[in-house]
Structure 1
Amino acid sequence: MSLSELRTLGRTGVPISPLTLGTLNFGTGSAPTGPEDSIRIIRTALDAGITSVDTADIYSQGEAEAVVGRALQGRRDDVFLSTKFHGQMGSNPAHSGNSRRWIMRAVEASLNRLQTDRIDLYQAHRPDYNTDVLETITALNDLIRQGKILYYGTSVFTPAQLVEAQWIANTNHLVPPVVDQVPYSLLVRANERDVFAITQQYNLGVLSYGPLDGGWLSGRYRLGSRQPASSRADALPGRFDVAAPFNQHKLHAADALARLAERHGLSLIQLAVAFALNHPSVSSVIIGPRTEEHLTDYIKAADTTLSDALLDAIDDIVAPGTNFLERDAGTVVPHLEFAELRRR
């Protein structure tokens, strides 16, 4: 496998590269990678053969989109460009969600920051439990008719929500979502239980993110090692704490996977990215480099092929369908999160 071997994005017929450049780390302020370095990374990725770029309005509060817009000047037609709506922009809670009112405002702001006349894929970043799904789908269909977006999709929707969105669109003679974005890695495999079966049933494209599980699969999380320092660990207390009892199974698995990679002459990053790319449901794996060196590591990993024997060995360490933490799934079901929804 290599970056030159393009894949088809679900039923859209659009060919995209097996790696998609994610831009969560790009922008200003608290973003790890500043604007000029971000632009260099984006252009280096395009030169290397990456044809798909994923961003979101909420990344650095619009700064990531602005950086992408600058980087794609003169190359826009060569890129499959996706962005997202839903997260709160600024201090006003009304500037968020999946309502028609917000979508129509959010898309104009994203188009402006991206310096483009259309968004190839517009994604609902999260479900919105306060907005009727038909309202969201109708608004997105209107944007397709207006030519402002070409396709739309979802991100970390539950299996029931994925099926509901397809059913509502089809029964109302509307264009349904064509892509779902999900977390997927050696340590985050719950989507193998049901989501991937649904995406295959409806021939949805899948953009998977988090192949290194936020750094757990970077090779730095090993038994007996000190706590790795990272901005993500600071922002999400507990999730990356190697001393926490609830992380012990995950730490042992990360260590065992690192040793497995070493025995096969691979880096853990190579093993992790190749694993995500190997699943037949996955159209493209979103990578999130902070430096050009990180990008080089990811690109090398795209050329890695895993044997059936090695895949079996991975399954022996982390069984198919496993998630070590509920929040690794990317979203929390409200009835699990809020006690008032499950008590009288």
Structure 2
Amino acid sequence: MVDQRPFGRTGVRISSLTLGAMNFGQRGNPDHEDGIRIIHRALDAGINAIDTADVYSQGESEEIVGKALAGGRRDEVFLATKFHGQVGDDPQHRGNSRRWIIRAVEHSLRRLGTDWIDLYQAHRPEPDTDFDETLGALTDLVHQGKIRYIGTSTFEPSAIVEGQWLARRRGRERVVSEQPPYSILAREIEREVLPVAQRHGLAVIPWSPLAGGWLSGRYHGGLDAPISRRADRLPARFDPTRPANAAKLAAVDKLAALADEAGLSLIHLALAFVLEHPAVTSAIIGPRTMTHLESQLGAAKVTLSRDVLDRIDAIVPPGTTLNPADAGYQPPSLTDPAHRRRGASSPHLAEDVR
């Protein structure tokens, strides 16, 4: 069975592994019945937290989760979903504004087949929208009983602190969790995000602990990269011919050898590493198949020795992200020349919302 840990200072406890539902639906596994079986197996194994988002397969993921929880299993689950990414063709159906949040939550509640969402998260920051506008709408939803807690995903440390400041100064409900990218290959959040979360008592539920599959055992030096729709869609993160990804591949080979020496699968090594950090509450696993789920469940019972952790640090030093594209979000101050150059126009930038 999977152990449970405190969810920040809320008094809630959730499993140290969270079932991520990103791969349920057309984006991953389109078989609804298979997705339901995977969810039920995870619940039976002791996982009590499920994370999805309205943008995953354009709402289909939420629908599959809702079907799986129908018939009496809703109460045993800490259910999290997210808003921000565009749903449908209407460009107004996105973002962190009050207008969209109030509408988006109703759609998510309907698809999930529930009267309340335990954790409602801003999927990404939106610098052009006043954070107080977002928190004001979310606070109203808490007071209405439609959501229980507020979370963020892939927010910068300054934004995390701003959320705590707004809660105190403006009387908003407090953000209680952050969902950042974190893996052996992407350790940047160790510099500030994790210490800030600890300082403010936030739960941390990292996404992509297997680095988008790089730590699943599928990638090996000297072999052709596995065929993946993500590789076609996100070459910056998955094209092995790019220098930053070649560096990841070299690290993966060393980590695979270390895992073998320690008598572990690479998957268990990777997940156990993320769970080792004292700031981490629960690592999000995103299986597409039952085999994927079974290969990850046992990681919650693995404890890495100090020697193994030291050797991981030698391969990928603390605070290091080998490929900046794996950071999940880059602020406009870095991506938009208009923020750095007088008179420059702002290009439309595509967003990778995991």
Query: TM-score surpassing 0.5?
Result: yes
Q: Which runs of 5+ in 1 are unaligned?
A: none
Q: 1:238 to 1:98 in 2, by over 3 A?
A: closer
User: How far is 1:129 from its partner?
Assistant: 1.6
Partners of 2:241 and 2:263 lie apart in 1 by 29
Compute the displacement of 1:220 (Å): 2.2
Q: Which residue of 2 aligns with 1:131?
A: 129
- Amino acid in structure 2 at the alignment position of 1:85: F
Show the counterpart of 1:45. 42
Mapped contact 1:33–1:291 kept (Cα < 8 A): no
Shift in CA distance, 98/208, structure 1 to aligned 2, threshold 3 Å: same
* SS of aligned partner of 1:121: strand
Of 307, 310, 323 in structure 1, the residue corresponding to residue 308 of structure 2 is 310
Taking the aligned partners of 1:147 and 1:322, their CA distance within structure 2 comes to 41
Q: CA deviation at 1:90?
A: 0.6
In the TM superposition, what are the counterparts of 1:163-174 in structure 2 within 5 Å?
A: 163-174=161-172
Partner residue of 2:76 out of 75, 78, 84: 78
Alignment TM-score, normalising by the size of structure 2 = 0.94
Segments of 5+ residues of structure 2 without an aligned counterpart are 343-354
Summarize the alignment of residues 179-258 of structure 1 with structure 2, pairs less than 5 Å apart: 179-258=177-256
Match for residue 56 of structure 1? 53
Pick one of 137, 143, 147 that aligns with 1:145. Answer: 143
The equivalent residue for 2:337 is 339
Q: Which residue of 1 aligns with 2:345?
A: none
Structure 1 Cα separation of the partners of residues 27 and 218 of structure 2 = 23
Would you say 1:105 and 2:103 are equivalent positions?
A: yes
User: Aligned equivalents of 1:335 and 1:256: distance in 2?
Assistant: 35
Counterpart of 2:235 in 1: which secondary structure? coil
CA offsets per residue over residues 22-56 of structure 1, 9 Å max, x none? 000001x3433421111110011101110000000
SS at match of 1:82: strand
| Identity value in percent | 57
Question: Does residue 197 of structure 2 align to residue 175 of structure 1?
Answer: no
Q: Is the 8 A contact 1:33 1:290 kept in 2?
A: no
Q: Is the 8 A contact 2:179 2:205 kept in 1?
A: yes
SS at structure 2 position matched to 1:208: coil
TM-score between both structures, scaled by the size of structure 1: 0.97
324, 329, 352: which is aligned to 1:326?
Answer: 324
State which drifts further: 229-238 or 305-314. Answer: 229-238
CA contact (8 A) 1:62 1:113 kept: yes
Distance 2:30 2:8 in 1: 32
Distance 1:181 1:286 in 2: 9
Please provide the CA RMSD for this pair: 1.0
Q: Distance in 2 between matches of 1:45 and 1:33?
A: 18
Shift of 1:181: 0.3
State the partner residue of 2:21.
23
1:34 aligned to which of 31, 47, 52: 31
